[in-house]
Structure 1
Amino acid sequence: MALTESKLQALHGKKNKNTKIIPDRDGLYISCGLKGKLTWVFRYRFEGEQKRMTMGTYPEYSLDEAREKLISLRRRLYEGFDPKVPEVEVKQKVTLAYCTQKWLEIKVPTLKPKTQGQYKSTAKIYLLDKNFTVDVQTAAREEWIRFFDNVAEKTSRVNAGQVLKLVKTVLRWSRSRSYITGSAVLDFEISAVGDKPKQGQRNLQMHEVGLLWAMINKSRATPAIKNCTKLLIIFGARNGEIREALRSEFDLERGIWTLPPERSKTGKELRRPIPEKAKGIIQELDETYGNNGYLIPGAHLGTCVTHPALRKYVIRLRLKMLDIDESFRAFTPHDFRRTISTRLSEQGVLPHVTEKMLGHELGGVMAVYNKHDWINDQLEAYELWCKMISEAAQEELSRIS
């Protein structure tokens, strides 16, 4: 039941054995002290954390005055500000472009080069938009929704969701640097403006892997692009781990590929064994391009094979495979990772081994105490995988010849 003025008068000055908290409405409470002092309290949640703030005492603030003050505090909360933080006069409008520029100048250079490139590209297209000139601290929710609706209309709802994540990253950083005090958009969920990316499910069956391998062998592409695709299939590594690999990372004598921390997604050194089939491919690349610089050189001196070049090649392979089998579903190089994990799991290879092959960190207690990388177990699994590829490719080659 809501408080009344008469009830407050009865409580004022009345001694209590314990402090009592009596609710009014909308997060407003009155705290009754041991000696009868009454204090107005506002309870609320901000960024998932339960908070409370003192608003003043009764009768200095009457019930009507406390409720009136509550309205302004709840409005600030709705706009994305912590009501506990004093409202300051904004001397200069702070735009999204301003915050983004500061973030690009100060924070982004501390990140990995690849991450820097991704952030700079997205920020340039969406966050540095000179047409969106509202103050991020005072912009209404409706203005933000129009901004993201425009992104979704021009691209997709999934992309709008990704842009929202980046905007929140930039503005949280800006708040930590005291460029802003808050923003309504920080409370937005992705579902309000877009969609989350769907988790990939595609993994190739062995006859598909065999046909793909056979089509690579029959294609007229350069040795670089053909062998790049083959190594991605064999290792199940991330696209950039193979494309941008330096020849010096591969020790054929010891049979170890060492991915340095600066190129690893986890920021830690990653070791993979090199199966015989991969050794043969690397030796072929050495004979064609030499054994210095990038393992798989690009079209221009001192560059590696680009992501667009690899993507276009895989699309061409898919189209040729469709000519042979109309039921063949689309795939991307990233699906090779899901493929090797799924097919080897079917053969009884244990999860901790396939996780290491994929370059994943082990979860739970194992991540803390177990630093072993199961090189011998990985090698055994890779050799099994290469045997499965060869057998499937031979079978498909016989079928289509």
Structure 2
Amino acid sequence: MLGNAVLISVMVMVLLSLLRVNVIFAILIAAITAGLVSGMGFTDTINVLVSGMGGQANTALSYILLGMFAVMIGLSGITNILVNNMMRLFQGKKIILVMTLAGIACLSQNVIPVHIAFIPILIPPLLTLFNHLKLDRRAVACALTFGLKAPYMTIPVGFGLIFQGIIQAEMEANGMSIALRDVTLSMLIPGIGMVIGLFIAVFITYRKDRVVQEANEFDMAEMKNTKERKDHYKGQSWSIQHTMTIFAIIAALGIQLLTESLVLGALAGIIFMFLTRVVKTNAGDQVVKEGIGMMGMIAFVMLIASGYATVLKETGAVDELVKSTSELTGNSPFIISLVMLLVGLVITMGIGSSFGTIPILATLYVPICFAAGLSPLATAALIGTAGALGDAGSPASDSTLGPTAGLNADGKHHHIWDTCVPTFLHYNIPLIIFGMIAALIL
């Protein structure tokens, strides 16, 4: 198992990321490592990587358009009103602010399923408030990741219905019947681990003041230019432009829910704001430039991550890794649970998708659990938790890339050390513990 291409590749990616190598280079080198270890060769590895990048093309385009839409909302001036009100409301109330953001993030998964779309709209305007409150942005990163992750694990609505539906379908496809409500029940215990991780991050680890490094002269000039541009569009009080901006947001949400397409939703909002002259058409170049600047990085990382996942699958090492776990587990429920969760952590760290990990794990883990006498509830808890492990902390996951895209809008938040490492520690460790508890008592 130690010579497995997936295991070696993920370790390379994690090590490079911790050494502050840019995540794009880390993923590319990790992909090449996986190909070479499996015997694919340089050329074949790169060809597979490039061919697999299209798997996230829709997501990448969605993020770019959402970035442009967020810029247009900022230009309308409505975010200035929001920030001013929040400055008054949350003055000296850092923890309440962080928990409020966690609640908003939760709504984005179930009640209003926009996923990370709200982050580039809401978070960048609040960075000034965070700095004023001396709020540790790592606490905000943990809060946002909690809201992007815990709801789909535990609540069978929106993205949660998709996630739990995949668990149910894959278990039944591999010969173990289970009702959807039982899948939901099985994930409640791991969900408690997520809540505990959030509380530890917010109330203990990152509660102290943290002063963000002062902006350099270049940053100050950029901030001044951005403020001047936004002042051109904003009014001192509520105006028709702000009302039209609200309608644009509603239109974008409505189209997204109707068509189930983030691309069409964001595009509808952009077109609406141009048509209603909230943002003038001659500002189009500025909107595109700043939108790509805000979300281009995350979009491109998602493309490369998709190619990396394709390389991992093509090596055949994922199936090999899963199969080799059966040689280590024996019939001990404790050992089975621990090994399954750790393997799930490695696979999801590499692939970056908890949803995409479930079918891989279920294929061989259902027979292992059945042979060991584990109940369907325990099996669902293990598969669901193993799939979700690594989604928090993975450099290639949108659960970490999304928060970083918002928190690093001013260049003062590091993706690995300020988002990935904190979320990895505060969520993956509790998930392993509570996932094992669920497997042993259900």
TM-score by length of 1: 0.22
Higher helix content, 1 or 2:
2
Higher strand content, 1 or 2:
1
Higher relative contact order (CA 8 A, sep 6+): 2
TM-score by length of 2: 0.20
